[in-house]
Amino acid sequence: MTTTPGPDEIVSDLVRAARGLPVRRTPVWFMRQAGRSLPEYRALREGVEMLTACRTPELVTEITLQPVRRHGVDGAILFSDIVVPLHAVGVEVDIRAGVGPVMARPFRSRADLARIPALTAEMIPDIAASVADITAELGPVPLIGFAGAPFTLASYLVEGGPSKNHERTKALMHGDPGLWHDLCARLAEISGAFLEVQVAAGASAVQLFDSWAGFLSRRDYREFVEPHSARVLHRLARTGVPRIHFGVGTGELLADMAAAGADVIGVDYRTDLPSAVSRTQGQYPVQGNLDPALLFAPWDVIADQVRRILDEGAAAPGHIFNLGHGVLPQTDPDVLTKVVELVHEKGSSAPQM
């Protein structure tokens, strides 16, 4: 078990902001900052399959460090994929370019639970090695651990891949709720174990991604999803690291995502930060939330939006600047660097520590 450091021991602005502590300047990182927008990433990945890249420590380390070197961001995010822990326990999955994760045998019945064993640290020595190597290189810059939430993992398994409507997922959820909850309980154990390994190896924070939760009604989220995300987040509470909870299209679910056990609420670009702060009763630091598409606008437009978000984030107990979803592949990396510089300049204009 990790002992939570006292306020005076926390050096990283990102971790301080996640704890609601005073910072020197607003910290910034970007979801998908390690990826296709960087020419050095594309060169490194040429001819290498995604799952191979995610499970090769030398590649994971280099890819994770690339945006820290280029952009000067305040945090690194482990280069990985949502389905890596499923792959680690033996689920047959392929990540197809332009499609995403595709399951060889979609989840259809209770018998399929036997194909999804518990995840142990012995199954992912490469992940522990990657995290240890990365944190050794990062020094004071924190590494954020990465895992998919149980609902998103379940959706990939049940649908067999990405889905526009999640019809099979919702049919199972309502048609056989017992099986649904058993599946999600298994996936919560896998996600929790995956994150614990990362923290034990040196990650300073974790983010639980629920990519597809925005397709659910609030009633369904509360009944079928929140208890399982809560299991993951409560398990991570004993590690002492901040827990960021992020979902896409989840503006109406923010209060419930906070109640699941988050320390920081990730806000996508569809919900403005004042609304997010209000919906969570002003009790949680927030992360976000520049629309990734706006990075293609003229610089003066981008700069105005960055300043607006910084002003809005100041109303929360803490603010980590980020996009409202991941960096788009065609994004100019130089624009991301300029955003970081502006956040650091504007976010440190008034002394905070």
Which position among 19, 25, 32, 55 bears the catalytic label? 32
Backbone angles phi, psi at 103, to 5 degrees: -90, 135
Structure tokens at 18: 């996640």
CA distance 90 to 76: 28
Q: Tell me if 335 sits within 8 A of 328, measured CB to CB.
A: no
Query: Which of these is catalytic: 13, 74, 81, 268?
Result: 81
CA distance 160 to 107: 7
Q: Which residues contact 36 (CB under 8 A, 6 or more apart)?
A: 42, 329
Q: Vertex 254, ends 71 and 335: CA angle to 5°?
A: 20
Is 85 within 8 Å of 93 (Cβ atoms)? no
Amino acid identity of 45?
R
Q: Any catalytic annotation for residue 32?
A: yes
Catalytic residue chosen out of the listed positions 24, 36, 222, 307? 36
Question: Considering 19, 70, 156, 263, which one is annotated as catalytic?
Answer: 156
Task: Enter the DSSP assignment of 4.
Answer: P
Residue 77 pairs with which residues in a beta bridge?
A: 144
Among candidates 68, 75, 200, which has minimal Cα distance to 129?
Answer: 200
Catalytic residues: 32, 36, 45, 81, 156
